[in-house]
Amino acid sequence: MRVSIKHQTVRRGAIFKKTFEQVTMTVLFTHEEIQIIRQRGLMQTKLLDRRPADAKVDDRDTKFELKVSDIINGKTDHFLCATPSAAKRYEEAMLDTLAQLKLWIGDNAETSDGIVVEF
């Protein structure tokens, strides 16, 4: 798994321009990881609950969930943060989540042989 994260400042709005920090992330999975994800049905697994800085108050939270299917096959994910500090915190949360995903994919690679325990 290879992860590329970039930060850039963007201005949004037609009349009242606002400045946001955009975090762009691209994840490239290996062929084996993609096969494990497909075989085990992990595509719709939710990775992170998040809410962008430009979200409306009445928007549903499920609209902004990050799922495995959103980042597979080299898809680029764009996320707006209000400040550079929030963008750095989001980056740290993403790296932690992707590290857990890597371990989880490894755990799903093979089934357990079983165990015998005596107490």
pLDDT tens digits for range 9-37: 998 877 888 899 999 999 999 999 999 99
Query: How is the chain split into domains, by residue range?
Result: 2-107
Cβ atoms of 82 and 64 within 8 Å: the answer is: no
Please choose, from the candidates 97, 100, 105, the residue with its C-alpha nearest in 3D space to the C-alpha of residue 43: 105
Instruction: State whether the Cα torsion 105-108-113-114 is positive or negative.
Output: positive
What is the C-alpha separation between 30 and 64, in angstroms, rounded? 26
The pair of structure tokens assigned to 109 is: 């690679």
The string of pLDDT tens digits covering residues 77-93 is 999 999 999 999 999 99
What is the pTM assigned to this prediction?
0.81
Cβ atoms of 13 and 69 within 8 Å: the answer is: no
